[in-house]
Amino acid sequence: MPKLIFEKHVTNSNPFSLPACDIPLPEISETIPAHFLRNETTALPEVSEVETVRHFTELSTRAYGVDSGFYPLGSCTMKYNPKINEWAARLPGFAGIHPCQSQDTVQGALQLYYEMQEMLAEINGMDAFSLQPAAGAHGEMTGIMMIKAYHQHRKDYKRTKIMVPDSAHGTNPATANVIGYEIIEIKSNERGLVDLEDLRAKMNDEVAGLMLTNPNTLGLFEEEIQDIAAIVHDGGGLLYYDGANLNGILGVARPGDMGFDVVHVNLHKTFGTPHGGGGPGSGPVGVKSKLIDFLPKPVVVKNEDVYSFNNDLPLSIGKVKNFYGNFGVIVKAYTYIKSLGAEGIKEACQHAVLNANYLRHQLRDDFNIPIDRLCKHEFVINSKKQSAYGVTTLDIAKRLIDYGYHPPTIYFPLIISEAMMIEPTETESKERLHEFVDVMKTIARESAQETDKLLNAPQNAVIKRVDEVTAARKPIVKWEAP
Amino acid sequence: MKYTPNPSSVVDEMLQAIGCSDLDDLFVDIREELKIKHRLNLSAGMGEMEIRNRLKYLADRNINTDDYPCFLGAGAYDHYIPAALEQLLLRSEFYTAYTPYQPEISQGILQSIFEYQTMICKLTGLDVSNASMYDGGSSLAEACNVACTNSKGKSKVVISDTVHPEYLDILKAYALSGHMEIVVVPGEDGHADIDAMVKAIDNETACAVIQQPNFYGILEDPTALEKAIHGNKGMFIMSVEPLSLALLKSPAEWGADIAVGEGQSLGISLSFGGPYLGFMAASKALIRKIPGRIVGQTTDLDGKRAFVLTLQAREQHIRREKAASNICSNQALCALASSMYLSFVGDQGLKDIAARCHHLALYARQEFEKAGMQLMYKQPFFNEFALRINNPGNANRILLENGIIGGYELEDALLLAFTEKRNRAEIDQLVAVLGGINNA
């Protein structure tokens, strides 16, 4: 077990030094009154540079990224992160600009922002975009704020509810609640799609809107999306598009054409920017014209080849983030879209959908697939066939780790018991998919014949299964000096 | 450029294997009228050399802090980033990983977050830190939300307008929820009007908020505010600059229940405003109330030390509509950068950097005063102050002509920040140019 960085502390071993400086250096106690000064120690570790480098290098060897191998994590779109994107974001002309510089000194950054707004609007069929939200859930929040502001501006105060399907990502109901809405859950039908009867019955003049992922979390396209949109719009509500699954229709169909009024996209899913072990992401929001006035400010505008921030948006919901957004992430996504171009964008989607359906076909003999029909970028299996041997989805996931794979998303969506949600993405080769299939078939066989291998998995990882119960009951959330 | 590894011959084989004749067959579940009929109005794909040229062109249209000494602060600071940090951050096991939901395959990331949480606790003096928020502004709004949703119906946030104006804007946007009522108390003479804030506290008040150092660089004395808000059973929230905590009294020492702030100073590039790092630390009593991911230490089946995401019952993917925050993706890689930064500079290094920033600011004040110029406010500061000057926009233009990125423009003042990257010669030139304008 590697030591913590604090356990590697050696007094006076850290070599950090500042350049010489020919100015007066009075004691701090003479220049800041003692009342403001710290008495407590900070007690950060002192470690030599080489040992610090080795520390973090060792930690990296105990992690697993897309570059390490196949990462079929459903709804997370773990596609390859092109290296040119990393290069671009680190250019001094991007990484080294201060957000408060005068606009004439950052014309390149503003141009990139403007072009990105335009490209996302085109790809999604929306009228305008803001790049400000920092993540998908942040984009959702911004979108729901705009829906609220829209209704309030129309003095329509009775709309206090948001509808969310039972298959939705957890962020959807959480977001609506955070913005002060009551949640109405819409049932899925036996085909795994929104139950139109349930939707019709629940739509009324207290409903502000419906949040929907399309393709949904089962990887299924909501075929009746136009009817869904009509029901919501006829009832005076707005339609929100959770772009987490945009990779399943990218370049083939657009949320804007389906009737969605607000969308967010996850640049760290669909547009190839890395997930960073949990962020930073970027969650731009797009709107139809009737909601443009409510976008967070500022937005970037172009006037005769000069780019500038427009802060003159009196109905704007205001700001949701410091400055203008996760620019470094946006540079990477811009690079990605420019690299792929119109044709490449569509091909990415086509190959993602092909890979998902191919994998579904390959796994159907050995695993139960509750809804086994044409899917988009992902599909859901479960452990029904294996449960007779006392094997759960968790066991299958842990056994995959033994074979060197990152497991798929498990126990989601909630409407499928023991769910395992598989999203291969377009950046996996047929050979790689077959290696995964072979492993899954082996695991299916082991379930019946060598059950212990699953129940005790993983055996080949750096640790075995962990005691999560004690972690939550008696939380230890920081290191304490012995 | 494309990143799809299957050539068309393989695609055909795969299509055949699943009973499709072409790629369009994969989309028959989408009604024909919904399909994109036009060629998307995007440029054609570019090869890597073309894309390099394109991005280089855009980057070169920006004046950057590598080439120009920068005196801008206002919530984002031009600090030095150690070379080793930049290289380690490119370890792809870190940056191409997802959130560490599967602990057995993610111990490295989980341990790094545990170390990060510990460092944030050490800097703030508080008991628990989450695994990061989006940025300083949104973490402040989330902290106020914690106070308002955990104080038995109280919903008033008493906050000074000496807090970063963008943080106030974000807080107001978050208040669209209807869960928070924001009471902004005007400051006086560059610092919070503590008496007025104390008077604004009533039975409806969930929390009182102060920023340290405040937006104008001034050190606030919240002693009386802390007493008043706690006397009223509300929470005391501080937004703090993490680097300054090497020298300044910690939020715990001031009696704060929650500390938040912008972590960009700790090894994160300016990048035109993001991605940065929001941090949040709190007293032990709030461990099950704060939003965001938290890593805990536990053991594996063999009794070995292990780390795992814990207390997830608070979070959106478990609690859904009952969750108090919707945060999911955070700024994990930026949090990692900050813990690498603190490791590379070390305890003494951080103190030295903070002291250097402060000393350079003191030197600048001395030289400005010698040149006959005055600061707006007289109170003690850390590394940033407002310099009184007519037409600050014009002053900035002239500074730029002299190869200097000037300050943040206030009414009749420039807010100037000093980091350890600045030196005497640069400050002398800054003073010479501004002194020249002032005396013209």
Q: How many CB pairs under 8 A join A and B?
A: 679
Nearest CA in chain B to A226: B34
CB A417 within 8 A of CB A424: no
**pLDDT by residue (tens digit) across A104-121?**
999 999 999 999 999 999
* Cβ atoms < 10 Å from Cβ of B254: 22
The CATH number of B346-439, from 3.40.50.11740, 3.40.50.2300, 3.40.50.300, 3.90.1150.10, is: 3.90.1150.10
In this predicted structure, the answer to whether residue A271 has a pLDDT above a threshold of 90 is yes
Rounded-to-integer distance, Cα A49 and Cα B358, Å: 26
Query: What ipTM was estimated for this complex?
Result: 0.98
Mean pLDDT of A144-160: 98
**pLDDT by residue (tens digit) across A320-344?**
999 999 999 999 999 999 999 999 9
Which amino acid would we find at residue B321? Answer: E
Per-residue pLDDT band at B191 (split at 50, 70, 90):
very high
Rounded-to-integer distance, Cα B184 and Cα B200, Å: 9
Q: Which fold, B84-340?
A: Aspartate Aminotransferase; domain 2 (3.40.640)
Note whether B329 contacts A277, CB cutoff 8 Å.
no
Query: For chain B, how long is the longest CA-to-CA vector?
Result: 83
Q: Which residue shows structure tokens 């990152």?
A: A406
Q: Mean pLDDT in chain B?
A: 97
Note whether B108 contacts A63, CB cutoff 8 Å.
yes
Mean pLDDT of A7-34: 95
Compute the nearest-CA separation of B86 from chain A (Å): 10
- Cβ contacts of A477 on chain B, cutoff 8 Å: 114, 117, 128-129, 287, 294-297, 310
Compute the nearest-CA separation of B125 from chain A (Å): 8
Note whether A95 contacts B269, CB cutoff 8 Å.
yes
DSSP-assigned letters across all residues of B218-248: BPP--HHHHHHHHHTT-EEEEEE-TGGGGTB
**pLDDT by residue (tens digit) across B381-391?**
999 999 999 99
Q: Which two tokens stand for residue B28?
A: 């028959």
Rounded-to-integer distance, Cα A346 and Cα A247, Å: 9
- Whether residue A215 is preceded by a cis peptide bond, meaning omega within 30 degrees of 0, is yes
> What percentage of chain A reaches a pLDDT higher than 70?
100
Asked if B95 reaches chain A (Cβ–Cβ under 8 Å), the answer is: yes
Rounded-to-integer distance, Cα B111 and Cα A2, Å: 9
Residue from the list B34, B322, B362 with its beta carbon closest to the beta carbon of A258: B34
In this predicted structure, the answer to whether residue B96 has a pLDDT above a threshold of 80 is yes
Interface test with A, best of B11, B16, B18, B55 (most A CBs within 10 A): B55
**pLDDT by residue (tens digit) across B326-344?**
998 899 999 999 999 999 9
Domains with residue ranges and CATH for chain A: 5-61 (no CATH), 84-340 (3.40.640.10), 341-468 (3.90.1150.10)
Residue from the list B64, B170, B315 with its beta carbon closest to the beta carbon of A96: B64
Beta strands per DSSP E along A28-137? 128-130
* Cβ atoms < 10 Å from Cβ of B67: 12
Note whether A277 contacts B99, CB cutoff 8 Å.
yes
Residue A467: per-residue pLDDT: 96
Cα-only R_g, chain A: 25
A448 membership: H or E segment, kind and range = helix A430-449
Rounded-to-integer distance, Cα A361 and Cα B325, Å: 39
Residue from the list B269, B330, B344 with its beta carbon closest to the beta carbon of A278: B330
Rounded-to-integer distance, Cα B270 and Cα A94, Å: 9
Interface test with A, best of B8, B23, B42 (most A CBs within 10 A): B42
Rounded-to-integer distance, Cα A258 and Cα A279, Å: 30
Asked if B370 reaches chain A (Cβ–Cβ under 8 Å), the answer is: no
Residue B322: per-residue pLDDT: 83
In this predicted structure, the answer to whether residue B440 has a pLDDT above a threshold of 80 is no
Residue A153: per-residue pLDDT: 97
User: Apex CA B141: angle with CA A112 and CA A170, to 5°?
Assistant: 80
Rounded-to-integer distance, Cα B205 and Cα B228, Å: 11
In this predicted structure, the answer to whether residue A1 has a pLDDT above a threshold of 80 is no
Rounded-to-integer distance, Cα B249 and Cα B278, Å: 20
* Cβ atoms < 10 Å from Cβ of B377: 18
Asked if B233 reaches chain A (Cβ–Cβ under 8 Å), the answer is: no
- Cβ contacts of B136 on chain A, cutoff 8 Å: 322
State the pairing for strand pair B181-185/A306-310: unpaired
Rounded-to-integer distance, Cα B64 and Cα A106, Å: 9
Mean pLDDT of B16-30: 98
Coil/strand/helix, residue A365? coil
Rounded-to-integer distance, Cα A31 and Cα A26, Å: 7
- Cβ contacts of A221 on chain B, cutoff 8 Å: 29-30
Per-residue pLDDT band at B314 (split at 50, 70, 90):
confident
Rounded-to-integer distance, Cα A191 and Cα A210, Å: 20
Q: Which of B246, B61, B94 lies closest to A101, judged by CA?
A: B61
Which amino acid would we find at residue B213? Answer: P
Per-residue pLDDT band at A367 (split at 50, 70, 90):
very high
Per-residue pLDDT band at A445 (split at 50, 70, 90):
very high
Nearest CA in chain A to B312: A472
CB A278 within 8 A of CB B99: yes
Q: Where are the domains of chain B?
A: 84-340, 346-439
Question: Which conformational region is residue A113 in: left (phi greater than 0), alpha (psi within -120 to 50 degrees), or beta?
Answer: alpha
- Cβ contacts of B299 on chain A, cutoff 8 Å: 466-467, 470
Residue from the list B17, B64, B321 with its beta carbon closest to the beta carbon of A177: B321
Q: Mean pLDDT in chain A?
A: 97
**pLDDT by residue (tens digit) across B117-133?**
999 999 999 999 999 99
Residue A84: per-residue pLDDT: 98
- Cβ contacts of B180 on chain A, cutoff 8 Å: none
